Structures are given as structure tokens and as C-alpha cells.
Structure 1
Amino acid sequence: MDYVSANPVSQKDETIKNNGFFPDIQTRDFQLQTRVDGTVTPERLKSTLLNAMIEVNRELYQWRIGQAAKTLKEVPAEQINGESELMILYQRAVFCFAKASLIERYRDIDTTAQGNKKADTMTPAIDEVWRDGKWALQRIKGETHNTVELI
């Protein structure tokens, strides 16, 4: 199965059902918010979002079972633009994990010298997207942004 289309593919909005606690994800929201165009096939897009949801849900498992609420929306949180900040952060984590995964896999498609140079320039962007996703997870869990490196 091909995961890359040379020409943009017409994308329809699809709802990816979650586990009941965490919110469902709309494929179109992901595309619009992360600037993913139609060169990513619908199958690849859905697969990537499913995997990102699994990763984020697993990262939040211990936190989730400690909540008295039945859904993330019911967990007490600040409201931003009429929406729970936890819902916003959850979507950000999923979208960042999915976007980083797509960038990592799609940067090697053009194997020309120019393509290799472009791939090298994308590495910092990939790291930043992974970081943003991890920060969203930390905020949901009530943790601070700590980055520690050995020198």
C-alpha cells in the first residue's frame, strides 16, 4: 500500500473514535492545525493519528485512572475560549506526536542531494514538535517542563 501520493489527495473529514475517556479526533482538524496537505494519503493519516492516540493514551494511563471523572472533559480545569484546557492540551499532544511521526517518515522520500539537505534541516523541527507534544502531556499531568541533559 502506498502512503505517499505524488499529487494531493482529496481528504474527507473522518472521526477517529477514542476510548471513551479521551476525546475523539477529527482528521480534518489535524490537517488544518498542522498544515498537513493532501500528499499524505487518508490511510497514512488515519494510521498515524491512531498510533499517536495510543501513545498519548498510554502515557496518560496512570494519570487517567487517578481521576474521579468519567471523561477528560469532566476533569476540573481552566476554560480557554469555552473549552477545557485539558482537552486542548490532549489534542495538542496527539497532533504533535502524529506530526513529528509524519515528518520523520516523509523527509526521506526525496533522495537527491537537495532532498538530503532538506531532510537535515528538518531534524530540529522534528525535535521541537516532539518536545511540544511531551510538554502538553506534562501539563495535563500537572508536571513542569523539565529538560535535563548530562554534560
Structure 2
Amino acid sequence: MSLIAAAPPLVRTTPPSDPAPLGKVSAGAWWPEIDLATLRDAVRLDGTITPARLLTAVQEAVAATVAQLDAWAQIRKDEGHESLSAVPALTVDGESVNVQRFRRAVYCHAKANLIERYSDYDTTGRERRKDQDEAREDQAEHHRRDATWAVRDILGVSRLNVELI
């Protein structure tokens, strides 16, 4: 008698406390650095997203967020503020809410990017259903919405846009 046992593939996950293969992303001295290990932990990414893929997604997320805030940041620089954390704002847990919101925008942009780019990745070998794809699209849209809200909060503008049709 013989036995054939099939188990799901093993997936190595990188613990958030292991920053060695990850590093940081910077858009210059004015903007906060984004620590990739902290981001991975905050948005619940396991080791299926490689450090190289994570780096690419975060670089794009930082670029997109900085581009949305560029005109506002230039005004703050002209006022003499040397960094985003130096711009007067509410402080929560010893950190400017502007810095927290910048980080949230980057994290959400990165997570949405990863959800969209790797939506076809399934380690179980099961066939993907249409409702799974729709759920992923909805999840990506929720992350994009949260990123937009974080940027709009920094800009000090309303989160809501209403158009008459």
C-alpha cells in the first residue's frame, strides 16, 4: 500500500522585525523616510511579496504622494519650514499628524498597487472566481480612497467632492 500526501506549498514569511532585506525609501530631506519593514507590518504583507516588488511599489507610492502634495509643500518651504514634521500641525503620540497622514497615504497607495499587480497570485492552486477578483478590486479602491483622504487632510481640503450630472 502506498500513500500520496499533497500539502499546500510552503510560503516563507519575513517577520516585520527582520529589516535586513528591506531598507527605506526617501524622497529627499523634506519628506519622511518610509521604512519598508514597518510598512510591511502595517499593511499586513507576508513574504509572498518579495523585497524587490515591495520596493518598486513603495517607490511609486512615494512618488505619487509627493506629486499630489508638491505645490502645497513648496508653499510650506517658502514659509521657511525645513521638513514636513516642522509644519505646524496637531501632534499625536509625539508626532505631527501631517507625517502620520503622509505615511498613511504612501502605505495605502503601495497596498493598492500590490493588490492590483499581484491579484492573480494564488498559492493554493485553486481556480480564481470572479467574486474574488471583484473583492480585490474593491479592496484596492478602498486603499486608494484612504490615500486620497490622507492627502486631502494634509492639504486642509474637504474629503468629499460632489458633482451634478
Match of 1:128 among 129, 137, 142: 142
Cα distance between partner residues in 1 of 2:108 and 2:41 = 13
SS in 1 for 2:136: helix
1:7 aligns with 2:11: yes
Cα distance between partner residues in 2 of 1:108 and 1:81 = 39
Alignment match, 1:3: none
Whichever residue aligns with residue 39 of structure 2, its letter is F
Whichever residue aligns with residue 156 of structure 2, its letter is G
TM-score computed with the length of structure 1 as normaliser: 0.88
Cα distance between partner residues in 1 of 2:130 and 2:55 = 27
| C-alpha RMSD of matched pairs (Å) | 1.9
1:72 aligns with 2:81: no
Q: Judge which range, 28-37 or 13-22, deviates more.
A: 13-22
SS in 2 for 1:7: coil
Report deviation, 1:105.
1.1
Gaps (5+ residues) in structure 2? Answer: 1-9
SS in 2 for 1:66: helix
Gaps (5+ residues) in structure 1? Answer: 1-5
Q: What is the aligned length?
A: 146
1:85 aligns with 2:97: yes
> Which has the larger helix fraction?
1
TM-score computed with the length of structure 2 as normaliser: 0.81
Alignment match, 1:26: 35
Question: Once the two structures are superposed, what CA deviation does each residue of 1:3-31 show, in whole Å capped at 9, x if it has no partner?
Answer: xxx73354642122221111001001111
Report deviation, 1:125.
1.4
Alignment match, 1:114: 128
Q: Is the 8 A contact 1:18 1:25 kept in 2?
A: no
Question: Once the two structures are superposed, what CA deviation does each residue of 1:77-111 show, in whole Å capped at 9, x if it has no partner?
Answer: 00001110000000000000000000111112349
Larger Rg: 2
Q: Is the 8 A contact 1:52 1:98 kept in 2?
A: yes
Whichever residue aligns with residue 48 of structure 2, its letter is T
SS in 1 for 2:151: helix
Q: Is the 8 A contact 2:14 2:46 kept in 1?
A: no
